[in-house]
Amino acid sequence: MSTIAFLNIGMHGHINPTLPVVAELVRRGHTVTYHTSPAFRAEIEAAGAKVHLYPGGDQPLPDPPTPVTLMESLARTTVGLLPAVLDDLRRARPDLIVHDSSCLWGAVAARELGVPTASSFTTFAFNRHVPSPTRGSWELLAMARRQHRSVQGYLRARWELRRRFDARGLPPLDLLNIRQPLNLVYTSRTFQPAAEHFDGSYRFVGPSIGARPVDPAFDAERLRDPVLYASLGTVFNADPELLRTFATALAPLGGTVVVSTGQTDPDALGPLPANVLPLRFVPQPEVLARAALFITHGGMNSVNEAMYAGVPMLVVPQGADQPMIARRVVELGAGLSIRTRDVAKGSVRSLARRLLHEPGFRTAATTLKAAQHDAGGYRRAADELERYVHTAAPVRQPVPTDPSRRG
C-alpha cells in the first residue's frame, strides 16, 4: 500500500470534493496525510486521514479576493508554509502528492522532494480555450495597475520562493491553474467547456459525492412537493434582502421553500410565508434529491450536486468562477441566470415559472445527471490515483504546458 499526501487551500469548495476520495483510499488500505487549516481538521479526520495543520492557524482570504490579490496571497502563503510542510512530508515520505490546482506550496514541495504529483481541479480545467482568472491577459494587466501594492507583494514573494526553493517550471502568473502529469477534474466531460481540447492527462471524474453524516436536526418529513430550494453558499454572509426576495418570490410556486442562509442569521430575513423554511445549513444532497428547482450562486460544488440530482437551476453568480459556471449551465439548457442587480420578486418568480413548467430544462438536467453519474466520482478518482502511483517515477519534470497546444 502507498502513502498519499493531500495539500489544499482552506476553502470548503476545494476541500469537500477530496474527502470522499480520501475516505475511499483509506478504505482500500492506503495511508493518507492531509495538510490543512484548523477549521477543516474534524471533517478530514473523519475521512480517515492523518491531519497536519498549517502553522499560523486558518489562512485568511484576501479582501477583496481579486485575481491579483489571490496571486499575492498564494505566493506569500507558499513562502510562509513551505518549511513546516516540507518537514512534515520528509517524515511521512509520501509516494504521491495530490495538491489543489491553486496550492502553489504543494507543487513546490513535490518538486523539492522529487515525488510524483497530481493536481486536483475543483472548478473547470483551464487552457487557452477556457482561460483561468489568473492567466496573463489585458484584463489582468489593467487590474494589476490598480493594485500595484499587491503586485509588489507578489513579486517579492516569488523572488523569495526562487531564492529558497525549487520553483522552476511553475507558472509565473497563472496560480489558479497549476497542472501536473495527472489532473483530476471534479466534473463530467459533458459539463467541461471545450473538453475536446484537453489531453489525456486530464481525467474528468465527475462530482465527488460520498456519504455524509445524517443531520438529526433536519426533518425531511416536513417537506411538501414541489420543493424549491435557494442557497448562496456558506462561505460569506449573504444579503438578507436577497434571500428574502428568493423566499417571497418562490413561496406561491412551491409546497415547501427551503432557504439556506449560511452565515446569515435566518431571523434577519424578517417574517416569511408559512411554507418557507429558513435554515442556516441544510443537508444539500438530501434536499436536492427532493427539489424541483434550485436557486444557487453557481459554486461548482453546488452546481455539480444539482446536476447529479437532475435539478434545473436559476444561477445568481456572486463572483470568482461563478459567472463562467452560470454561462455553461445556460449553454447546456439546464437552467437560467440572472445578475444580482436584476433580482426582484417579479423577475425571480417569472424565471422560476419557466424552469418549473418548460420541459426542456428538466430534459437537459436529466441528460447532465446521467453524465455526472457515468463519470465515476470519487471511486474513479481513487482508481486514477492508484494507477498513477504504481506507474509514475519519482522524477523532477516541468509542469505540462497548455494542454490545448498539442503536437
CATH code assigned at 289:
3.40.50.2000
For residue 402, being part of any structural domain is answered with no
β-strands 227-231, 96-100 pairing: unpaired
Q: List CB contacts of 254: < 8 A, sequence separation 6 or more.
A: 226, 227, 228, 275, 292, 293
Question: Do 319 and 362 have their domain in common?
Answer: yes
On whether the CB atoms of residues 99 and 120 are closer than 8 A, the answer is yes
- Angle at alpha carbon of residue 193, lines to 187 and 196, rounded to 5°: 100
Q: Please state the domain count of the chain.
A: 2
Question: Do 330 and 359 have their domain in common?
Answer: yes
Question: Do 65 and 77 have their domain in common?
Answer: yes
Matching residue, cell 450562486: 297
Residues 145-170, buried b or exposed e (16+ Cβ, 10 A)?
Answer: eebeebbebbeebbebbeeebbbeeb
- The pLDDT value recorded for residue 139 is 85
Residues in the chain: 407
- The pLDDT value recorded for residue 183 is 98
For residue 103, being part of any structural domain is answered with yes
Q: What DSSP designation does 269 have?
A: G
- The pLDDT value recorded for residue 213 is 67
Matching residue, cell 492508484: 386
- The pLDDT value recorded for residue 402 is 54
- The number of beta carbons lying within 10 Å of the beta carbon of residue 185 is 26
- The pLDDT value recorded for residue 393 is 63
On whether the CB atoms of residues 258 and 285 are closer than 8 A, the answer is no
Question: Do 197 and 243 have their domain in common?
Answer: no
Question: Do 118 and 257 have their domain in common?
Answer: no
β-strands 96-100, 50-53 pairing: unpaired
Backbone angles phi, psi at 318, to 5 degrees: -110, -15
List per-residue pLDDT tens for the chain, 407 residues long: 999 999 999 888 899 999 999 999 999 999 999 999 999 999 999 999 999 999 987 777 776 678 898 899 999 999 999 999 999 999 999 999 999 999 999 999 999 999 999 999 999 999 999 999 888 888 888 888 888 889 999 999 999 999 999 988 899 999 999 999 999 999 999 999 999 999 999 999 999 998 666 677 788 888 999 999 999 986 666 899 999 999 999 999 999 999 999 889 999 999 999 999 999 889 999 999 999 999 999 999 999 999 999 999 999 998 778 899 999 999 999 999 999 999 999 999 999 999 999 999 999 999 999 999 999 999 999 999 999 999 876 654 444 555 555 43
Question: Do 269 and 149 have their domain in common?
Answer: no
Question: Do 387 and 283 have their domain in common?
Answer: no
For residue 116, being part of any structural domain is answered with yes
Question: Do 262 and 346 have their domain in common?
Answer: yes
- The number of beta carbons lying within 10 Å of the beta carbon of residue 231 is 25
For residue 405, being part of any structural domain is answered with no
For residue 404, being part of any structural domain is answered with no
Residue 309: name the closest of 326, 332, 285, 281 by CA.
Answer: 285
Q: State which residues form the domain around 33.
A: 3-206+376-391
For residue 212, being part of any structural domain is answered with no
Question: Do 144 and 57 have their domain in common?
Answer: yes
- Give the CB-side neighbour count of residue 123, counting CA atoms within 13 A: 24
Question: Do 103 and 226 have their domain in common?
Answer: no
For residue 213, being part of any structural domain is answered with no
On whether the CB atoms of residues 157 and 62 are closer than 8 A, the answer is no
On whether the CB atoms of residues 385 and 93 are closer than 8 A, the answer is no
- The pLDDT value recorded for residue 397 is 47
Question: Do 107 and 74 have their domain in common?
Answer: yes
- The pLDDT value recorded for residue 320 is 75
On whether the CB atoms of residues 109 and 7 are closer than 8 A, the answer is yes
Question: Do 158 and 95 have their domain in common?
Answer: yes
